Structure 1
Amino acid sequence: MSTFALTEPWWHYAGRGALTYLGLLVLMRLCGKRAFGEMSAFDVIVLVLVGGTLRSAITGGDTSVTAPFIGVAAILATDKAVGWACTRWPRLNRWIEGRPTTLVRNGRRDDEALRRENVPGAALDRALHYHGMETEGDVALARLEPNGKMTFIRKRS
């Protein structure tokens, strides 16, 4: 067998790549915003394991050089199509990206929101310090954005 010969028709790999992308998008969305935020050592481990595990979902038992490229091309095309659809349908975009969550309002920490979003208090404290604030008392509004990043608006002095 040739290095470039496929064991299945090309569209199998394209379909598998697209379905794998969409399936992983749903799983990541169900995991919540924190999965998209700053990556810890645990997040890197999960990312590597997920990538290694999903390789066989895309290429099956095919060992050619061609199959992974077809799968990756399908993943990139699906990502482009999802982005295109999200710019045209706000409801789809809200479902895929989610909504921001208020973590601090007028200097008061919302412990329930922190628990719901799986954000430890220490992570909020680190983000406060990173943004040059000592405590949540310095904050008018802090949000966990859909991309997993925390944004802060300082109280006016």
Structure 2
Amino acid sequence: MHGTPLPAQLAGPPLNDRELVIDACYRAFASIDHADMSLLDSATTEDVYTNIADKICDGRDELKSKVLNHIANNLDTVHYLSNMRVSVDTPTTARVTFTATSVHCVLEKGFEPGPNKYTAGAIYACDAVKTDDEWRLKKMQSHHVWGEGNRAIMKPENAE
């Protein structure tokens, strides 16, 4: 069970553009941790381009089919994002960089010792766009700096 994340639209006073760009990043990674594809839809453009851990996906559908479906069906994850820096370049475009630590465990085996985990540290650079008064990620690139554990759990058995 991945739990229930907060909805894409948060209650309370409105966020400024910089906070909304950061929230798009949090929504994108929370969608993985909670296996919530609708949250991913709220955080990314339909034509999002990703190059994460040298896995390139062109479009949200490809990202879901190549990466997120495997993770949602086979792994428990926790992503920690920090060191966020946002540049709102125009009223509709922004760039954001941050660091991320990701912990991946075979479903329901996180407390067991052995080869059930893989943890990685990465630096991300993303482009965001404002569409329909909501910021979404259009491009996500990672530079993975380190990894520890069983990397094999990251690749589905039927993958190329």
Q: Does the alignment reach a TM-score above 0.5?
A: no
- Structure with bigger RCO (C-alpha 8 Å, 6+ apart): 1
TM-score calculated relative to the size of structure 2: 0.24
TM-score calculated relative to the size of structure 1: 0.24
Q: Which has the higher strand share?
A: 2
Bigger radius of gyration among the two? 1
Q: Which has the higher helix share?
A: 1
